[in-house]
Amino acid sequence: MTGPLHGLRVVELAGIGPGPFAAMLLADLGADVVRVDRAGGGSPIGADPTGDLLNRGKRSIAVDLKQPAGVETVLGLAGRAHALIEGWRPGVAERLGVGPDAVLARNPALVYGRMTGWGQHGPLATTAGHDVDYIALAGALHPIGPAGGPPQIPVNLVGDFGGGSLYLVVGILAALREADRTGRGQVVDAAIVDGTAHLTTLLHGLRAAGRWQDRRGANLLDGGAPFYAVYETADARHMAVGALEPQFYAELLRRLDLDREPDLPGQHDTAGWPRLRRVFAARFATRTREEWTHHFAGGDACVTPVLTLDESTRDAHLAARGTFVERHGTIQPAPAPRFSATPAELTGPPPLPGQHGRQILEEWKVR
């Protein structure tokens, strides 16, 4: 294995969504991640487990946690690990005998990462939920969408992976730093509602300063500003415009041949924004997405084509950076971020449940 986390041992108790993504990120960066799958169970996503990219770079052992021997195996692995990731409802790990008390008794220096939607305590802690529920309660869903329309679901990137996985990884790495310093591990309670609320810090600051209205499509960064918006092209595709700064806005007007319009509303004349939006929309509707892409190429107007997932894998800039790679027959995002001295690499495809059981027990010296 390579990467800055080479030598880090992580146990992942199998789940779905943000927990596996957090463990994948650690594996991408070089950690030895052992996924504990359910003995005799299928894939948690209900599909071919070898196609679940969130498990790339990991190894799998199958364990029956309803049996004392299975519990002992997990505790044995935890005893040899630096961190453990668990994403079940509060209380489940404790009932199975692999909760924080049992694990930290076996390995006091271990970092126990807990990934949930609502957190380990609070009125909703033991109830079900999904990304859309968490970001709704955290206030992050309400601002997303057009004025006069309903909130728009931003896939599950904001909650599960932004407010969930990434905060869990940051918490684990911070706690590992503390464990290196003191020899004491701890529990990291990563709740999607907490992380998602934290992501809205800028918006709360703007609102406190009177620079953000608590309604959709009325602000600088929510599509309200005509110079930070998406416009349809002649071929029913779209261009993204992000010309916030005055110099970039001036470049946008020049590229749209609007810089000599005598009565065009000013950039920050909010009363004139509806008219400015109509002018921009009419202009973008005159050419195809490809034509506009070529027209804005090489400039600082902050205008880019809105690409599909498939199209993004073939984009020239992303290809030059190697943002996407083909490994094991699948095109997929490469590890991120980049490191100058300890580059990360994809080390293996998603495993079958239990595929590496004997190998893991031998290497980790677990009986």
pLDDT category at 121 given cuts 50, 70, 90 is very high
Nearest Cα residue to 112 out of 175, 60, 54: 175
Which residues face 186 on adjacent strands?
A: 111
User: What pLDDT digit, counting tens, does each position of 209-221 carry?
Assistant: 999 999 999 999 9
- CA–CA distance from 301 to each of 79, 239, 242, 295, 306 (Å)? 55, 12, 8, 11, 15
Catalytically annotated residues: 130, 160
- What is the C-alpha separation between 69 and 57, in angstroms, rounded? 27
**Exposed (0-12), middle (13-18) or buried (19+): which is 45, by Cβ within 10 Å?**
middle
Does residue 49 have a pLDDT over 90?
A: no
User: What pLDDT digit, counting tens, does each position of 63-91 carry?
Assistant: 999 999 999 999 999 999 999 999 999 99
Check: CB of residue 125 under 8 Å from CB of residue 116.
Answer: yes
User: What pLDDT digit, counting tens, does each position of 247-262 carry?
Assistant: 999 999 999 999 999 8
Does residue 1 have a pLDDT over 80?
A: no
Average pLDDT over residues 98-108: 98
Residues 6+ apart with CB under 8 A from 211: 220
Task: Return the minimum-mean-pLDDT range out of 38-52, 133-147, 207-221, 300-314.
Answer: 38-52
Amino acid at 296: F
Residues 6+ apart with CB under 8 A from 9: 31, 32, 34, 80, 81, 82, 83, 364
φ/ψ of 303, rounded to 5, equals -125, 125
User: What pLDDT digit, counting tens, does each position of 20-35 carry?
Assistant: 999 999 999 999 999 9
Check: CB of residue 97 under 8 Å from CB of residue 72.
Answer: no
Question: Sheet containing 238-242: which strands, arranged edge to edge?
Answer: 228-232, 238-242, 303-305
User: What pLDDT digit, counting tens, does each position of 131-186 carry?
Assistant: 999 999 999 999 999 999 999 999 999 999 999 999 999 999 999 999 999 999 99
**What's the chain's average pLDDT?**
96
Average pLDDT over residues 268-276: 95
Does residue 42 have a pLDDT over 70?
A: no
Amino acid at 15: G
- CA–CA distance from 303 to each of 150, 215, 249, 255, 355 (Å)? 26, 25, 10, 10, 47
Does residue 50 have a pLDDT over 90?
A: no
226 Rama class: left (phi>0) / alpha (psi -120 to 50) / beta:
alpha
- Share above pLDDT 90 across residues of the chain, in percent, rounded to a whole number: 95
- CA–CA distance from 173 to each of 25, 84, 104, 187, 282 (Å)? 12, 12, 17, 12, 49
Look at the block and give the residue holding tokens 């700064």: 245
Which residues face 85 on adjacent strands?
A: 12, 113
Look at the block and give the residue holding tokens 């969930």: 164
**Cα dihedral: 184, 189, 190, 194 (round 10):** -130
Token output for 346: 């994809």
Average pLDDT over residues 278-302: 97
Does residue 48 have a pLDDT over 90?
A: no
Nearest Cα residue to 3 out of 334, 350, 346: 346
pLDDT for residue 218 = 94
Q: What domains appear along the chain, each with residue ranges and CATH number?
A: 9-199+335-363 (3.40.50.10540), 228-312 (3.30.1540.10)
